[in-house]
Amino acid sequence: MSKLSRYLGGLSIVVILAGCSVVQTNYVLPERHIKIGLTELTVEVASAAVQQEKGLSGRQFLARDRGMLFVFDKPGNYAFWMQDMNFPLDIIWLNNKKIVGVSANVPPPTAPDARVQTVLPPEEIDMVLEVNAGWFKNNYLRLGDTMEYLP
């Protein structure tokens, strides 16, 4: 690992050169500990558009005590899809840190060329929590439960 990589904490840099294609290597998302309902969870925080577009795509699994939190600049009706996903998810829709909906057990595509399912929130949201399918039910969450960041 180079001195620059150590200094940047493993964060990759995208270099754009005129007339050249862009190559982006893997990057590490910041992690936060949250509490949603009565359950604590470690999440990767995707707040930049490129991070949000990639999401959990391409991963083979997600540990049961982990998730990905998508944080948007302003409330909206953000669509989510399961492009290149390898496992089903619960998509928990949040507005002002309150659960306003859940899309439970959203399946991955059945084949590489299968039509990709798009999932929409029930109302405007400013955050989305993606966790393993069944997580919402298994942790006894309900609409109206709130999320908080832990130290």
pLDDT tens, residue by residue, 80-98: 988 888 899 999 999 999 9
Select the CATH number that applies to the domain covering 29-150 from these four: 2.60.120.1140, 3.10.450.40, 3.40.50.300, 2.30.40.10: 2.60.120.1140
Q: What is the pLDDT of residue 104?
A: 97
Please tell me the pTM assigned to this model.
0.79
**What are the sequence ranges of the domains in the chain?**
29-150
Question: Which residue positions in the chain have pLDDT lower than 70?
Answer: 1-27
Q: What is the pLDDT of residue 109?
A: 85
Report the relative pairing of strands 89-95 and 80-81 from DSSP bridges. Answer: unpaired
